[in-house]
Amino acid sequence: MQMIKRMLSLAALCLLLAGCNRNETKIAFFVYDGSDTFISEMMAHMASEIAPEISAVFRDAGNSQAVQNQQLGELIEEGGYRLFVINAVDRLACSAIVEKCAKEGIAVVFFNREPLADALTNDNVFYVGADADKLGEKQADMVAELFSGGSGFLYDKNGDGVIQLIILKGEQGHQDAEKRTENCVGRLKELGFEVEILATEIANWTRHEGFQAMQTICADYADEIELVFSNNDDMALGAIDYLIDAKVVPKAPHISRMPFPIVAVDGTTVGLEAIAQGYLYGTVNNDSIRQSDAILKLISCILSDGGLENFEYPVTNGHYIYIDGEVITRRNLEDYTNER
């Protein structure tokens, strides 16, 4: 099954965005960390689809709010920008960012990391992203059938009727990480399952730290784990990397069965590949393509001074555009790989 990867190196992405006509409308994209697989895929898609009359520049904060603040300040001082598209490092900084942009008449579209509500009260300030509550709930829905009915004994290793699980958490205190974690566990309980959280490890959204987290967890709970909830694909893939490295599972083009199901969120290209191979049971599609499309259409609407009355995507409370994602497992994998 062929998959067309949408990830670009930062250098290539910068060149692509820089290729726009600099005599035309100027906008800028700011991302919290360009090495994040999901963000990289979103930026690659938007860079490939952005209107030719728009001159766009790209800035990567390297996961530092101080760096992002400096980048924002430099472009504000440079002048001439109509709109900033911002994936903030720290959502608590968003109100101050909006205030600075408002003074210069710069519209703001936040994405992926939802700001506090008081940052989205001005005109021409918006947020595009998934509903973090629903992402977590859909993770739980995905695995519920595995522990139900006649097949439940296959995953309940000790036969105690309780799901022993671990959680790979994106960031401590990060809104999406907290909501995804709270709702995946809460939803399982709503569905009537008893759960025991063996461990929660912070892995900062990265594959490398997912590897380290799984190594730590397996040292204490290797024989007890019945389920892994990961806040994103990259951390889940890091956990899988450890299991392969430790020879818990073989490294192969396809495997028939994991020792326990691992479920994630995002639907990145590498995540879908892991589902096809049998390592990742499933993921909840964070739908980078539709979110990117919504951002591009919103950019067009803002730059043309058009209203949102007939906007293609539903707008909540005048400022929020939430894009729902669906569960992806082997059953429907082909529907999503065909889009890439």
Pairing between β-strand 327-328 and β-strand 282-285 as defined by DSSP bridges: antiparallel
What is the pLDDT at residue 176? Answer: 84
Examine the pLDDT at 98 and tell me if it is beyond 80. Answer: yes
Give the list of residues 6+ apart from residue 219 with CB closer than 8 angstroms, or none.
none
Tokens of 63: 């996961």
pLDDT of residue 228 exceeding 70, the answer is yes
Which residue in 150, 147, 145 sits closest to 331, CA to CA?
Answer: 145
What is the crossing angle of helices 207-221 and 233-245, to 10°? 50
What stretch(es) of the chain map to CATH 3.40.50.2300? 10-130+288-323, 132-285
Mean pLDDT of 239-267: 96
Residue 56: beta bridge partners?
Answer: 27
Mean pLDDT of 181-185: 94
Residue type at 75 in one-letter notation: L
pLDDT above 70 (res 9): no
Phi, psi of 155 (to 5 degrees): -110, -20
CATH code that applies to domain 132-285: 3.40.50.2300
What is the per-residue pLDDT for 339?
A: 62
Residue 297 pairs in a beta bridge with: none
Quote the pLDDT of residue 4. 30
Question: Which of these ranges, 18-22, 34-38, 110-114, has the smallest mean pLDDT?
Answer: 18-22
Write the DSSP string, 226-262.
-EEEESSHHHHHHHHHHHHHTTSS---S--S--SS-E
Element (H, E) at 15: helix 10-18
Q: What is the residue whose two structure tokens read 């990145």?
A: 268
State the Cα–Cα distance between residues 215 and 209, nearest whole angstrom.
10
What is the reported pLDDT for 237? 98
| Closest CA relative to residue 215, chosen from 197, 195, 201, 232 | 201
Single-letter residue type at 154: L
Under the banding of pLDDT at 50, 70 and 90, the label for residue 338 is low
CATH architecture of 10-130+288-323: 3-Layer(aba) Sandwich (3.40)
CA distances from residue 32 to 68, 141, 172, 204, 264 in whole angstroms, order as listed: 8, 30, 16, 12, 21
According to DSSP, the residues that pair with 165 across neighbouring strands are 197, 227
Q: Which residue has the higher pLDDT, 310 or 332?
A: 332
- For the segment 106-148, what is each residue's pLDDT rounded down to a tens digit? 999 999 999 999 999 999 999 999 988 899 999 999 999 889 8
Distance CA 2, CA 338 (A): 9
* Lowest mean pLDDT, pick from 113-117, 153-157, 301-305: 153-157
312 SS3 class: coil
pLDDT above 70: residue 257: yes
- Output DSSP code: residue 106: -
